[in-house]
Structure 1
Amino acid sequence: MPSTARGALAGRTVFRVGYGAMQLERLRDDRGAAVALLRRAVELGVDHVDTAQFYGNGFVNGVIRDALRPGDDVLIAGKVGADPDPGGRIPLRLAQRPEELRASVEDNLRALDLDRIPLVNLRRADRRPGVLAEGDQLVDLDDQLAVMTALRDEGKIGAIGLSGVTIDVLRRALPAGIACVQNAYSLVSRDDEDMLQLCVAENIAWVPFFPLGGAFPGLPKVTDEPAVHTAAQTLGRTPEQVGLAWLLHHAPNVHLIPGTAGVAHLEANTAAGDIVFDEETLAALDKVPSRSMDASLG
C-alpha cells in the first residue's frame, strides 16, 4: 500500500478505506453471508467500520457483534440522531433530543456488546440530504453536545463526530473536541470544500458519504464523467475505484466508508486504497466541475 493508505481517526491510525455497514441489511435473509462479508473486510485490512442501530433495526449491529473479534482491533464508529422505525414510511425516525441521543448510545452499546464505542457521530437534521428536523426535533447544538461530552466523560464513547452539518455548526462545535465530520461529498459535489479545508487545519477526519454522488435522482454521478473513465482506462481500474481514490488523494484527512453487500465489490473498493495518480491524471480529475447538491435536489 502507498504510505498515504493509513491515516488518523479518533486517536487511532487506520486504513483510510473503511466499510460502511448499512448495506449489510440487504443480507438479512443470509446472516452467514453477512458475517462472512465482514470477515473478508477484516482480511483485506479494513479496521474502521461505520454503523448505527437504525441500520436494519439492529440487524447490522448484530452482524458486527457476531463477526468481529477482539483481536481484529477494528475501530467501530456508531451514529445517533435517529432511531429505528420499522413501521414508518421510512424505517427510521429522528431522535435529536438529548435524552434520545443518550438512549441511542445505550442501544448501540447493548447491540454491539461493547462497554465503549470508539467514535460516535451525531447526525444533525438541519440540512439536506436527509430528513429535516421540525417540532420538538429542532434541538440546539449546545444541548446535544452537552450530552455527547457527558457520554465521552463517562467512557461510553471515545470520540465525538458530526454528520450532516454546516460549516457554522462545525465552528460552534470545535471547543467540544470533534474527531470527524461525515457529510455528503464527492468529486462532482464539492459544496463543502471550505469545511473540508477547515477540518484539515483542525486535524479532524473527513468521512464523506455518497462518495460517488448519484445517491438520489437528479444528483450528478462520478461515474458519468469522461475524465474519470479516461483515468480508469489508463490505470486498468474501474470508474468507481477512480472516484474513491480521488477522494483519498484530494486531502490527507479523508477516510472512506463505501458500503456493499457483495464480496467482489468489497474487494474492488478496498483496492482503491492502493491507486496512485500521476500529476497529469490528478490534474484532469481536479478540473471536473462541481455541481451544487442543494441545486440538484431542487
Structure 2
Amino acid sequence: MTSQTTTAAASGTWTLGDRTVNRIGFGAMRLTQHGEAFAADAEPRDRDQAISVLRRALDLGVNHIDTAAFYFSRLRSANELISRALAPYPEDLVITTKVGPGRDVSGEWLPHATPEQLRGQVEENLRQLGRDHLDVVNLRIVGTDSIAERFGALADLRAAGLIRHLGLSNVRLHHLAEARAIAPVVCVQNMYGIGASAEQKEFLDVCGEQGIAFVPFYSIAGTGRTAGATTDHSREVHAIARTYGVSTAQIRLAWTLHQGRHVLPIPGTGDLDHLSQNIAVGTLRLSQDDLAVLDSLHHEAA
C-alpha cells in the first residue's frame, strides 16, 4: 500500500444525517497525551505535534472527527487543539462529540449528567470548539437504564438549533429503539473489532438495516482499550498481515471496514506515521478467504 498518497476517500463514503463523510475518520482521544488515555500521570503530548496530526488528517481527506470535552489531560484539551488547528473549519468537516460523562478539573470522573446538566455539557463543547452549533452529539451512557429523559433533553437542544444531529454511544439495542421514538438517530458509536460478541454483531447489522452509521471504537486497540493497540493478536492475524505486507493493526482496521458500508471507524493517534497507515487501510481489500479466517476468529470469541 502507498500510504504516502492514499487519502480517506479510498475508504468510500457514508452519511451522518445530511452530511457525507469518508468512512475512515479520526478519533481525538489520543491527541492530548502519551500512553494510556486518561492516566493522571501521563506525559502531555507536544502541542505542535498534535496540531500537525490534525492538519495532516484533513490533508489526507479525513472529514469526520470524533471528540469530547472530557478528552483532556494535564495542559491539553482535545477540543481546544481541534479549534486551534482547524478553525475556521472547512465546510465538509463533521465534528462529532459526546456528552453524558464528565470529569472535574483534576481529571476525576463525575457521575453521569442529569437531563438538566446536559445543556451545560453541550455549551462547553460549543465554547471549546468555537462553534455556534454541534454537527453530531452522541449521548454516551453506562448501564442499561432508560435513556428517554436524557435523550429527550438533547432532542430539545436539537430543536433549539444547538445540535444538528443526534447519536448514541456505548448502548444496547433497546436504547436505540427508545431513542428513535423520540428523535432521529444518525449513528451508534460502540466498541467493535475482531472478537466482538454476537450481540455486538447483531447491533451492527441492525444499524445497517436501518441506514444508521455504526461508528466502532477500539477497532485497533482491541483488548488494550484506552492503553492503545493490543498485542494480543492470533497467529492468523499475524499471517494475514505478512501476506499483505502491513501491520496487524492495519489488518484489524481493514476487517472492521469490511463489516458494512455503514461502518465508520475512527482510529486515533498522535503519530503522523500511524495516521498515514490508518488512512492507507482504505485501499486494503482483504480476500474472501482471509475474511473467512478472521470471521472465524470473530465467531469463536463471541
Query: Do these two structures clear the TM 0.5 threshold for a shared fold by scoring above it?
Result: yes
The answer for the alignment partner of 1:199 in structure 2 is 207
Paired with 1:32 and 1:4, the residues of 2 have a C-alpha distance of 28
By how many angstroms is 1:115 displaced? 0.6
Q: Report the aligned-residue RMSD.
A: 2.3
In 2, the alpha carbon distance for the partners of 1:46 and 1:21 equals: 12
Is the 8 Å Cα contact of residues 250 and 277 (structure 2) preserved in structure 1? yes
Indicate the residue corresponding to 1:144 in structure 2.
150
1:223 is displaced (CA, Å) by: 5.2
Query: Is the alpha carbon distance of 1:248 and 1:154 closer, same or farther for their aligned partners in structure 2, counting shifts above 3 Å?
Result: same
CA distances 1:196-233 after superposition (whole Å, capped 9, x unpaired): 1110111111111111311359xx95851222222211
Using structure 1 for the length normalisation, give the TM-score.
Answer: 0.86
The AA in structure 2 aligned to 1:210 is Y
Question: Partners in 2 of 1:221 and 1:262 — Cα distance?
Answer: 17
Q: 2:206, 2:143 → 1: CA distance?
A: 20
**Number of the residue aligned with 2:3:** none
1:54 corresponds to? 70
Structure 1 range deviating more: 109-118 or 79-88: 79-88
List aligned pairs for 1:59-74, cutoff 5 A. 59-68=77-86, 69-71=88-90, 73-74=92-93
Report the equivalent of 2:295: 286
Matched AA of 1:83: G
**Structure 1 residue 84, shift from structure 2 partner:** 2.3
Alignment of structure 1 residues 1-298 onto 2, 5 Å: 5-26=12-33, 28=44, 30-56=46-72, 59-68=77-86, 69-71=88-90, 73-87=92-106, 91-126=108-143, 140-175=146-181, 176-190=183-197, 191-212=199-220, 213-215=222-224, 224-290=233-299
Specify whether residues 291 and 171 from structure 1 end up closer, same or farther in structure 2 by C-alpha distance, changes over 3 A only: farther
Give the aligned residue type for 1:87: S
Q: Distance in 2 between matches of 1:96 and 1:151?
A: 15
The whole-number CA distance in structure 1 between the counterparts of 2:177 and 2:68 is: 25
Identity of aligned residues (%): 36
2: CA distance, partners of 1:180 / 1:289 = 23
Bigger RCO (CA 8 Å, 6+ sep): 2
Deviations 1:160-206 (A, max 9, x none): 11011111111221222111111111111234111111101111111
Using the size of structure 2 for normalisation, the TM-score is: 0.85
Equivalent residue letter for 1:55:
Y
| Alignment partners' CA distance in 2, 1:151 and 1:291 | 43
- Three-state SS of the structure 1 residue aligned to 2:33 is helix
Give 1:132's aligned residue.
none
Gap runs ≥5 in structure 2: 1-6, 35-43
Task: Give the number of aligned pairs.
Answer: 278
Q: Which moved more, 1:78-87 or 1:35-44?
A: 78-87
Question: Any conservation in 1 of the 2:112–2:141 contact (CA below 8 Å)?
Answer: no
Q: Which amino acid aligns with 2:19?
A: R
Check whether the contact 1:223–1:243 (CA below 8 A) recurs between aligned residues: no
